[in-house]
Chains A and B, each alone.
Chain A
Amino acid sequence: MISKILVANRGEIAVRIIRTCKSLDIRTVAIYSEADKDALHVKMADEAYCIGPARPDLSYLNMEAILTVAQMTECDAIHPGYGFLSENPEFAEKTEQFGCVFIGPSYKAIRLLGQKSVARDIMKKAGVPVMPGSESCISSPEEGAKIADEIGYPVLIKATSGGGGKGMRLVEKPDDFIKLCQIAQSEAASAFGDDRVYVEKYMINPRHIEVQIVADQWGRVFALGVRECSIQRRHQKLLEESSSVALTPELRKQIAETALKVVRTINNGKDGVIYHNLGTVEFLLDEDGHFFFMEMNTRLQVEHPVTEMTCGGYDLVALQIADAMKEEPLPLENEILDTHGWAIECRINAEDPTSAFVPSPGTIDKFIAPGGLNIRLDTAVYAGYKIPWCYDTMIGKLIAWGNNRDEAISRMLVALDEFEIEGVANTISFHKYILNNRDFYRGNFSTAFVEKHYDDYLNKIKIAAKKKG
């Protein structure tokens, strides 16, 4: 039984988790840093404790402080949210050792899938398509250069413990390989304490497709629809949708089945790991409809609301808690869930899209939230709230659902028009541009969309300003 949960996170995701806990009559404990004393999650939780200064390594990444609060307040479980400690196997293991439930997969599964090259090798052996590349990590830059010659340029050098683009380098010609490999290794060493890298063929202009997985401790695995997250800027997703215009029904089924196979491969491994709770299997899709396993994220994903909106209203956080209770199998039946309609999520960040998305922290002077049928806003800000300098720039996630993509786009455009934020620069105008763009509307885009259309966006903004002025 879980009756009290410590939420080891901040911002909109902490608020979102607390909401579900309240609806399940579960008490909540918030933690916060000095920079977050006025944050919404602090006000909403039943109890809240300041655990350190603004620096994340002294607060939201401070395992000792978080576990101390969990112990003092007699919490049954810890929900890590996303980012921070959510994919840290050491934290999951310590939580378990300490007698608390970690709401997520087992630390063994997190550790296994956190080693990107290991996961890649396991999937390759199981017949899951992966991009051509090195067998596990390379032993030296020279060995990597040989492999790159064999698979052909361009190639990506990736840190096996990596994430968020760190320890990753694109190499376009052989002359650059050794130098860039050494940079990737040293960056990986300083970011993750592990300098091992592997080499993979680089796909030009791919689409990013992912499958939401839910699994329970009885070994049952389910796929809850696909998401397309190709609209990105420097590996940071800006806009996500469910489903994807790039997928025919047959291809969508194939990708979902492959994602199920990925989880079953882990469950059938020699080490006895049963993957449970949530996970996201990420794929790259080429122009000819070939898809390749990229990695599996072992946590709740930022863009999970588009899945909730198209999968009959399942609350993914409630499913996480139900799994963590380990009392009975999850109330799901079909391995591949039928989805309904279309959902789009726009990440509204405090960044200036007219100035290369430079962060714009500060006080929100005016905040008028959009609403209406099938509009959802997940946020932790309010008028007068000061967006701290030291964390991510997210203001909120705006989600629109429609019976089809056209309807979802129309509703989102109305919502974006209604949304008023003053005091900080924000990405609303860029989202409006994307949704009005012909290539986006026709589904003719890839991860290169933002780069390709950025100058056109700037021109349109200038013309609009002239008309106004």
Chain B
Amino acid sequence: METSQLKQIYQIMTDNDFDEIELRLGPTTRIKMARSSSTNNNSDKKFTTSNVANTTEVKIHNETQTKDSTDTNKTEIRSELVGVFQFMDEDENFFPKVGDEVAMGEKLGKILSLNSIKEIKSPIDGRISEISVKKDDIVDYGHLLFVIEDSSNKA
């Protein structure tokens, strides 16, 4: 493979925010490329090649659960799966509203899918600055649920 093609693959990774790509290009060649996606640090890229069995498999790794919003003080909580959203039930005794203080790990709600329940917890100590979901909403993968303002980092 030529350098220009490697550069092209790296561009694809950057465009799609992929952390790692592994390409198997036939009976003897495997190319694995990794980069740091969160910082987009180009110096972090690495290429490796090795001999493997013949296959055309392509593996791509890229996962995010929570990420900082454009405002560095705020953290977005997004849905990790598709399902029906509910706030914690009455036994849990918590119905969050904008302005509430929450502790790291505190339960904010849950997403019900076919065979599982995913609890939504605050990833930081902070204050709820936005609730982007209502009870019984169908939420997609990646749907914005809450925005939490970091209480330890007030300017």
Cβ B141 vs Cβ A54 within 8 A = no
Stretch at the interface among B52-60, B66-74, B91-99, B126-134: B52-60
Known: A53-B63, A187-B55. A68 touches B114 (CB 8 A): yes
Q: Are the CB atoms of B62 and A55 closer together than 8 Å? A: yes
B16 adjacent to A69 (CB under 8 Å): no
Instruction: For A53, list chain B residues within 8 Å (CB).
Output: 62-63, 141
State the interface size on chain B (CB cutoff 8 A).
Answer: 27
Docked complex Cα distance between A187 and B141 (Å): 32
Nearest chain B CB to A6's CB is how many angstroms away?
A: 12
B17 to chain A, nearest CB (A): 9
- Are the CB atoms of A186 and B53 closer together than 8 Å? yes
Task: Select A64's contact among B53, B56, B58, B113, beta carbons within 8 Å.
Answer: B113
Would you call the interface of chain B mostly helix, strand, loop, or mixed?
Answer: loop
| B113 and A183 contacting across the interface, CB-CB below 8 Å | no
Chain A residues with Cβ under 8 A from B152's Cβ? none
A15 to B45, CA, bound (A): 37
Determine whether the beta carbon of A183 is less than 8 Å from that of B53: yes
Nearest CB on A from B87, distance (A): 18
Judge if B12 is at the interface, Cβ distance under 8 Å. yes
- Does any Cβ of A come within 8 Å of B116's Cβ? yes
> Which residue from chain B places its CB closest to the CB of A64 in the assembled complex?
B114
Which of chain B's residues 57-114 have a Cβ closer than 8 Å to chain A?
Answer: 58, 60-63, 81-84, 113-114
Contact between A51 and B141, CB atoms less than 8 A apart: yes
Interface size of A in residues (CB-CB distance below 8 Å): 31
Chain A 145-188 against B: per-residue CB contact (8 Å), 1 yes, 0 no? Answer: 00000000000000000000010000000000000000100110
Residue of B nearest to A65 (CB): B82
Choice from A49, A98, A183, A191 contacting B140 with Cβ under 8 Å: A49
Asked if A464 lies at the interface with its beta carbon under 8 angstroms from chain B, I say no
User: Is B115 an interface position by the 8 A CB rule?
Assistant: yes
Q: Which of A35, A49, A52 is close to B138, meaning CB atoms less than 8 Å apart?
A: A49
State A134–B56 Cα separation when bound (angstroms): 28
Is there contact, CB below 8 Å, between B141 and A65? yes
Task: Check: B5 CB closer than 8 A to any chain A CB.
Answer: yes
A51 contacts B62, C-beta separation under 8 Å: no
Contacts of A69 in B (CB 8 A): 82
**Complex CA distance for A419 and B61, rounded to whole angstroms:** 35
By a CB distance below 8 angstroms, the chain B residues around A64 are 113-116
- A388–B18 Cα distance when bound, in Å, is 12
Contact of B82 among A49, A187, A358 (CB under 8 A): A49
Checking B16, B56, B63, B84 against A72 with a beta-carbon cut-off of 8 angstroms, the contacting residue is B84
How distant is the Cα of A187 from the Cα of B53 in the complex, in angstroms? 8
Which residues of A have CB within 8 Å of B60? 54-55, 389-390
Which chain A residues border B116 with CB–CB below 8 Å?
64
Nearest Cβ on chain B to A100's Cβ, whole angstroms: 11
One digit per residue, 1 when the CB lies within 8 angstroms of any chain A CB and 0 when it does not, for chain B 113-124 equals 111100000000
Contact in complex: B53, A51 (CB < 8 Å): no
Taking A53-B62, A72-B138, A389-B21 as known contacts, 6 extra A-B pairs with beta carbons closer than 8 A to each other, sorted by chain A number, are: A34-B142, A50-B142, A54-B16, A54-B18, A65-B113, A389-B12
The 4 closest A-B pairs by CB, nearest first: A50-B140, A68-B113, A68-B114, A51-B82
The interface of chain A, by Cβ under 8 A from chain B, is 34-35, 49-55, 59, 64-65, 67-69, 71-73, 98, 166, 183, 186-187, 191, 234, 358, 361-362, 388-390
